[in-house]
């Protein structure tokens, strides 16, 4: 059977919009292959009008690999959790579906998603794809922005390419949240958030394209003085997130957006948090480390 899935480039060819596919139904191997090829090329795919359940989102995601356990990604614990462990909660809601109070610690932590990042860069084996489903959205705002780290690499001068090629960064949620002044963690949280090592440059396994592997949790560069490392990473991030490398997704209810964390960064944008924003993410586990962990314990969080 031939697939009728079609993908139209949007945002100057960075993202793609997918049509003729129904995510409430099991996919054929041809459909999966067409979506994978679209991901290899665009790194961000938009699926409109997909009114899916959690189970359907999980089934769709499983076509692309194993689903990462969401443990260790935030400071919401146990009975406070609104969703299954395979779903990351990108909403502003508590377990009773009420917006979190302005001074709620969980909200402050989750505001870290407004910094440019790549999902799970704080895990020793980071994620490949993320799939974010918009169940309910506020009337305005709450865009998600994506930055193309392949285009950023392509635009670097040769001297900088040579410099970054060998560099290894240490990533932790302690670093990214520290940028927002969030610094009080319990001992359990500190243990879950131990820094892990990641290469600063990656190569896509299919296209062979190189990309900058930046993310807000990157807080040190192995072998460099801290202040120098931080400034270097800030400069690179500023360079890599220029408007010419960025596309903006304006959400409609029932959109699903899928992106490749190996080739892009993304960030959330503000909205009126009195309104409900119910967004749910499944994340596909990667298979390999990007860098040797230097004899450290693996930082991959397990539940328990
Ligand atoms: C995510 C994320 C941004 C947003 O789903 O990983 O960072 O706009 N989302 O919710
Ligand atoms: Mn994210």
Take residue 267 and report the two structure tokens written for it. 């960030």
- Which among 185, 211, 216 is positioned nearest to 112, based on CA atoms? 216
131 touches 56 (CB < 8 A): no
Confidence of residue 2 (pLDDT cuts 50, 70, 90): low
* pLDDT tens-digit series, residues 235-266: 999 999 999 999 999 999 999 999 999 999 99
Closest ligand to C-alpha of residue 131 is 1
CA of 142, closest atom in ligand 1: 8
Question: How far from chain centre, in Å, is Cα 191?
Answer: 22
Confidence of residue 1 (pLDDT cuts 50, 70, 90): low
Beta strands in 176-236 (DSSP E): 196-199, 201-203, 210-212, 218-221
Q: 215 in ligand 1 pocket by Cβ < 6 Å?
A: no
* pLDDT tens-digit series, residues 280-302: 999 999 999 999 998 755 445 54
Environment class of 81 (CB within 10 Å of its CB; exposed 0-12, middle 13-18, buried 19+): middle
Rounded distance between C-alpha atoms, residue 258 and residue 45, angstroms: 5
Rounded distance between C-alpha atoms, residue 211 and residue 285, angstroms: 19
Rounded distance between C-alpha atoms, residue 176 and residue 218, angstroms: 7
Q: 268 in ligand 1 pocket by Cβ < 6 Å?
A: yes
On the question of pLDDT at 169 being above 90, the answer is yes
Q: 130 in ligand 1 pocket by Cβ < 6 Å?
A: yes
Take residue 287 and report the two structure tokens written for it. 């298979």
**Would you say the pTM of this structure is higher than 0.85?**
yes
Q: 132 in ligand 1 pocket by Cβ < 6 Å?
A: yes
User: Residue with the nearest Cα to atom 4 of ligand 1?
Assistant: 268
Which residue reads 């460099």 in tokens?
A: 224
Give percent of the chain above pLDDT 90.
Answer: 92
User: Which among 266, 267, 280 is the best mutation to test ligand 1's pocket, defined by most ligand atoms within 8 Å of the CB?
Assistant: 266
CA of 251, closest atom in ligand 1: 8
235 touches 18 (CB < 8 A): no
CA of 132, closest atom in ligand 1: 5
On the question of pLDDT at 159 being above 80, the answer is yes
Closest ligand to C-alpha of residue 118 is 2
Average pLDDT of the residues of the chain = 95
- Which among 299, 242, 268, 87 is positioned nearest to 180, based on CA atoms? 268
- Which among 288, 285, 289 is positioned nearest to 302, based on CA atoms? 285
Which residue reads 């020793």 in tokens?
A: 124
- Centre of ligand 1 from the C-alpha of residue 142, in Å: 10
Residue 3, pLDDT score: 67
- Which among 90, 99, 170 is positioned nearest to 133, based on CA atoms? 90
Q: What is the DSSP letter of 28?
A: P
Confidence of residue 189 (pLDDT cuts 50, 70, 90): very high
User: Residue with the nearest Cα to atom 6 of ligand 1?
Assistant: 119
* pLDDT tens-digit series, residues 198-214: 999 999 999 999 999 99
CA of 117, closest atom in ligand 1: 7
Give percent of the chain above pLDDT 70.
Answer: 96
Task: Tell me the average pLDDT across 118-140.
Answer: 98
CA of 90, closest atom in ligand 1: 10
On the question of pLDDT at 82 being above 50, the answer is yes
Q: Is 139 left (phi over 0), alpha (psi -120 to 50) or beta?
A: alpha
The b/e string for 204-226 (b: 16+ C-beta within 10 A; e otherwise) is: eeeeebbbbbbbbbbbbbeeeee
- Which among 131, 146, 136, 148 is positioned nearest to 256, based on CA atoms? 131
User: Residue with the nearest Cα to atom 8 of ligand 1?
Assistant: 268
Confidence of residue 304 (pLDDT cuts 50, 70, 90): very low
């Amino acid at each position: 059977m031939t697939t009728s899935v079609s993908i139209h480039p949007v945002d100057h060819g960075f993202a793609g919009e997918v049509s003729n596919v129904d995510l409430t139904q099991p996919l054929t191997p041809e459909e999966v292959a067409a979506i994978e090829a679209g991901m290899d090329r665009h790194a961000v795919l938009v699926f409109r009008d997909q009114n899916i359940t959690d189970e359907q989102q999980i089934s769709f995601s499983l076509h692309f690999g194993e689903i990462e356990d969401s443990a260790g990604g935030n400071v919401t614990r146990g009975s406070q959790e609104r969703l299954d462990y395979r779903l990351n909660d990108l909403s502003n809601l508590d377990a009773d579906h009420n917006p979190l109070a302005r001074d709620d610690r969980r909200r402050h932590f989750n505001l870290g998603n407004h910094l440019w990042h790549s999902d799970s860069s704080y895990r020793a084996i980071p994620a490949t794809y993320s799939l974010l489903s918009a169940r309910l959205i506020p009337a305005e705002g709450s865009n998600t922005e994506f930055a193309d780290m392949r285009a950023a690499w392509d635009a670097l001068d040769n001297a900088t390419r040579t410099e970054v090629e060998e560099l290894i960064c240490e990533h932790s949620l302690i670093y990214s949240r520290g940028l927002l002044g969030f610094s009080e963690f319990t001992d359990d949280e500190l243990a879950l958030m131990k820094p892990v090592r990641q290469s600063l440059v990656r190569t896509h396994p299919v296209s062979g394209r190189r990309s900058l592997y930046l993310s807000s949790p990157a807080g040190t560069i192995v072998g460099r003085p801290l202040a120098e490392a931080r400034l270097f990473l800030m400069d690179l991030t500023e360079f890599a997130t220029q408007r010419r490398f960025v596309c903006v997704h304006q959400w409609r209810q029932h959109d699903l957006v899928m992106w490749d964390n190996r080739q892009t960064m993304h960030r959330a944008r503000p909205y009126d948090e009195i309104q409900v924003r119910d967004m749910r993410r499944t994340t596909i586990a990667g298979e390999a480390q990007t860098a040797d962990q230097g004899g450290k314990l693996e930082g991959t969080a397990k539940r328990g």
